[in-house]
Amino acid sequence: MQGVDDLGIMLGIDDVGFGYSSLSMLNRFPYRYIKLHRSLVQRIAESKEDYMMIRMLVEMARMLGKDVIAEGVETEEQLTLLQAIGLQEAQGYHLAMPMDAEGITALLAERKKQKRHKPMTSA
């Protein structure tokens, strides 16, 4: 893995929890993150089993020193549950619609502007 990292390449395992993304593969390859399949994320609020599966995968990834990205986040409730588990990276329509390079540049500029203008609060 060191050689790949030295090149500035970040590898990941996509669709964990679905299809051929076997758990046995999680310790065989040099990767930095896993991406949870949207089918797990979509049912997180309705299915205790899916919630627990995501929680287990996140904990296992942490123990392996890996990051986790949730794909297919479409509601505030899904995002809130994922954040409660400790996920800090997600993608999906709730966060942003697919966009071209100009759109993402504008979105990032707007978010940067919002951070600068956030009012300070006292504790």
pTM here?
0.69
Tell me the pLDDT of the chain (123 aa) as tens digits.
Answer: 556 677 787 777 666 655 555 666 666 777 788 889 898 899 999 999 999 989 998 998 889 888 999 999 999 999 999 999 999 899 999 988 889 999 989 988 988 888 776 554 444
Tell me the CATH number at 73: 3.20.20.450
Q: How many Cβ atoms sit within 10 Å of the Cβ of residue 17?
A: 19
In a domain, 49, yes or no: yes
In a domain, 120, yes or no: no
In a domain, 10, yes or no: yes
Residue 18 structural domain? 4-97
Half-sphere exposure of 36 (CA within 13 A, CB side): 33
In a domain, 102, yes or no: no
In a domain, 104, yes or no: no
At position 61, the amino acid (one-letter code) is A
Query: Helix crossing, 48-63 with 76-85: angle to 10°?
Result: 40
What per-residue confidence (pLDDT) applies to 120? 47
